[in-house]
Structure 1
Amino acid sequence: MKDAIWLAGAAGAIGTALVPLLIDAGYAVFGSTRKPERARALEAAGVTPVIVDVFDADALRAALVRVAPRAVIHQLTDLPFALDAAKMAQATAANARLRDEGTRHLVAAAVAAGSARLIAQSIAWAYRDTPAKPYDETQPLDVEAEGARGISVRGVASLERQTLHTPALAGTVLRYGQIWGPRTGFDAPVGASPVHVEAAAFAAFYALERGASGAFNIADDHADADNAKAKRELGWSPALRLARDEVRR
């Protein structure tokens, strides 16, 4: 058995695909969710469920200190299924709060628990629009954007800053493209930088296994976000998929 891993958002689309990779590699996976009804499915997948709300800082800290995970993987989002347009106005603010305040609580809890690593989910379409496409990880985020985009990008910027610049943690930011595939609500690639949900899960797994720090674009080939760094430093490919026996877990 390898080290304990805390997977925040274990019941989400990427979390669900990531769990079998971690279990098969021998990690003890503690999966957090705020919804008690998801505990049984997590247990069936081999995860120790922890029911906790990331906005309850004291409860979150106590839970992580009890588990003392070597690494924390942050896959939390607060978005409607298939990005339902009728719900997105409210979800944009809620998701930005999760990336800002929720990440702050998760980082504080990870530090208190003595964790060494934090791997966090970001997005690959937050870059400032310039002619220099495809965008690599050195290009600036569009933090001065207005409206809903500005709210989202500033939430992303806060998440990335906390992940990459907390001295006690080796931080990795995965800038996922637009997710599609099982449990996402999208059956085909969408957006300018799509990525399959299972390939996204492999990126988190490879970041953990390789111990890689920094920001990485996780998107298909020939997308607006350049994936060369992830290929080079993580050994990642957008073609990666779960084996069918892993899917059945």
Structure 2
Amino acid sequence: MAESVFLAGATGAIGTALIPLLIDAGYTVYGSTRHAQRAAKLENAGVTPVIVDVFDLAALTKALARIEPASVIHQLTDLPRNLDPAQMAHAVVNNARIRSEGTRNLVAAASAAGARRFVAQSIAWAYRTGTRPYTETSPLDIDAPAPRSISVQGVVALETCVLEASAMTGTVLRYGQIYGPGTGSAEPAGTSPVHVEAAAAAALLALRYSPGGIYNIAEDEAEVSSAKARRELGWLPSLRNVKAADQP
């Protein structure tokens, strides 16, 4: 029987790119969405859709108890299409809630269902200004003024919850600025860009090989160093629609 994975945020940009990698690697994939109209898209991709809101702890716990996933991958975000500047102030607050309350609920439900591994999306631009390139041990900008403080506090809440989860191997992927299909940005942008397909490959590699902990995931010459992900996961920023299951 194939090992099951619950993919939270399955219809997002990284989730969409990750689904075929998981299926090619032999996993049975359950994908969550809040919107029933997106279920057909997931079914067509070979995923069993799960209509659930991460903020509904009771429903989420019930869903995961039924599925009993071996692993959970958290790719949930709450961002406007094309990162519309007019909506970003509100989105920052919503996204921080996903990272704090949403992650807390997802970890609790995963733990109750007996999941053994948990991989979560974080960001690589929450570091305090200092010596570059930033590594995973560089301090986060926890004293940042608002509105940056909202995002950083959300990141801290997410990462603490995942890394302190008992009975699960917790891995945090600090992604750089995502570009590529489904992201609203066709070309690299920002200080630490990463292609969406390379980001998806990092999630699969973390699922299979991570001993737990934090990994920066960004391209060469970025503001952050991804040497740890290269070394421990066999991840490369050049990965595009490949069968990452055989890495490293």
Common fold by TM > 0.5: yes
Question: Residue 220 of structure 1 aligns to a residue in which SS?
Answer: coil
Separation in structure 1 between the aligned mates of residue 210 and residue 196 of structure 2, nearest angstrom: 21
What pairs with 1:171-190 in structure 2 (closer than 5 Å)? Answer: 171-190=170-189
Separation in structure 1 between the aligned mates of residue 242 and residue 157 of structure 2, nearest angstrom: 35
Aligned equivalent of 1:68: 68
TM-score, normalised with respect to structure 2: 0.96
Say how many residue pairs are matched.
243
Native 8 Å contact 2:123 2:173 kept in 1: yes
Native 8 Å contact 1:74 1:119 kept in 2: yes
TM-score, normalised with respect to structure 1: 0.96
What pairs with 1:38-187 in structure 2 (closer than 5 Å)? Answer: 38-130=38-130, 132-187=131-186
Aligned equivalent of 2:198: 199
| AA at the equivalent of 1:177 | G
| AA at the equivalent of 1:236 | W
CA drift of 1:151 comes to: 0.1
Native 8 Å contact 1:212 1:234 kept in 2: no
Aligned equivalent of 1:5: 5
Separation in structure 1 between the aligned mates of residue 242 and residue 114 of structure 2, nearest angstrom: 34
Question: Residue 147 of structure 1 aligns to a residue in which SS?
Answer: coil
Per-residue CA deviation, residues 179-210 of structure 1 (Å, 9 max, x unaligned), is 00000000100100000000000000001111
Residue 220 (structure 1) aligned with residue 216 (structure 2): no
Native 8 Å contact 2:31 2:47 kept in 1: yes
Q: Which runs of 5+ in 2 are unaligned?
A: 244-248
Separation in structure 2 between the aligned mates of residue 2 and residue 118 of structure 1, nearest angstrom: 18
CA drift of 1:243 comes to: 5.0
Aligned equivalent of 1:247: none
Q: Percent identity?
A: 62
| AA at the equivalent of 1:240 | L
Per-residue CA deviation, residues 5-52 of structure 1 (Å, 9 max, x unaligned), is 000000000000000000111100000000111100100000000000
Q: Which runs of 5+ in 1 are unaligned?
A: 245-249
Aligned equivalent of 2:246: none
Per-residue CA deviation, residues 186-236 of structure 1 (Å, 9 max, x unaligned), is 010010000000000000000111143100000000100101000000000
Question: Residue 145 of structure 1 aligns to a residue in which SS?
Answer: coil
The RMSD of aligned alpha carbons is 1.0
Per-residue CA deviation, residues 99-136 of structure 1 (Å, 9 max, x unaligned), is 00000000100011000111000000000011x10000
